[in-house]
Amino acid sequence: MRLTHGLAVWTMVGVTALWSMAGVVTRHLEQARSFEVTFWRSFFTVVSLLVILPLWQGRSVWTRLPLRSRYFWFSGLCWSVMFTAFMVALTLTAVANVLITMAVGPLLTALITRVFLGHRLPARTWLAIVLAGIGIGWMYGSQLSLGDPNFLIGSMVALCVPIAGSVQWTLVQKSQSEGQNLDLVPSVLLGALLSSLLTLPLSMPFQASAHDVGLLAILGLFQLAIPCALSVVCARVLKAPEVALLALLEIVFGIALAWWGANEAPQLSVLLGGALVLGALLLNEWLGWRQNNV
């Protein structure tokens, strides 16, 4: 499955919209908490991908697993860290705090790809990163002023997500630069499996109601399995910093959904900072489109 650049961009926009469901859905859980939330979401992601992958790529997908490739295992580990840290962070602090902390992803990705892959980024991408950084700083400062007692712990846990994400996107690019035509979509399944195994003993005894399990099953399928698999496909076409920049849309969507569906109203400075982040994304994509069509 190979996408054009434009279709990959729009697919990533849809991916971020699905990713942004987690915050608002988590706020409607009745009894499930902390590691149990992570376990059930990861468990249903495993179940979903066990069905989706054979339907998408045929039953031979299991015989084609790149088990000998270090990129497959490293990628799965990165997904596991992202799946686990994100949901734990959401149980510790506000949705906006988690999403804002995750927004350092493009800065980390640009640094990692520049150092390890030698990518020369266009000026438009650096400009977008700077503008997005200003917007993130603006939002972050406003959240610090709220005095949330769990803000620091939640933010540190959330910081694991962009670090692992930056490594993940860079691994995809690195494997391609070495001429390895690896299918890393199954690494999403590996990551969900590792996350489930890690959090299972920490989830006992289970307290989730049937209502909670149903919501977490929805997250497993629509917020993780489908969009994460699609994001790997997009990463084959888009540069790693570009993927990370587009992923920032999750901030805008996530804060808006938490505001609308869970009454977590952000401050005006959060809205203005989010608008600056969105503007940086649009500027980067528009300049790229103009450059490719001149």
Tens of each residue's pLDDT in the chain, 294 residues = 567 888 888 999 999 999 899 888 988 888 887 789 999 999 999 999 999 888 877 888 888 888 888 888 998 999 999 999 988 888 888 787 788 778 777 777 777 877 777 777 778 878 877 887 788 777 777 766 666 667 778 878 888 998 898 888 787 777 777 766 666 778 889 999 999 999 999 998 889 899 999 999 999 999 988 888 888 788 778 876 677 678 778 888 888 888 888 787 777 777 787 788 778 777 777 777 677 665
pTM: 0.80
- 8 A C-beta contact, residue 15 and residue 244: no
Structure-block tokens of residue 106: 């493009």
d(CA 51, CA 63): 15
Residue 145 lies in a domain: yes
Number of domains comprising the chain: 1
User: How much is the pLDDT for 251?
Assistant: 80
Residue 83 lies in a domain: no
The number of residues making up the chain comes to 294
Residue 261 lies in a domain: yes
d(CA 23, CA 30): 14
- 8 A C-beta contact, residue 247 and residue 105: yes
Residue 65 lies in a domain: no
Residue 69 lies in a domain: no
Residue 30 lies in a domain: yes
User: How much is the pLDDT for 39?
Assistant: 94
Measure CA of the first residue to CA of the last residue in the chain; give whole Å.
28
User: How much is the pLDDT for 47?
Assistant: 94
Residue 25 lies in a domain: yes
Residue 34 lies in a domain: yes
Mapping DSSP to helix (H, G, I), strand (E, B) and coil, where does residue 51 land? helix
Q: Which domain holds residue 242?
A: 5-59+92-293
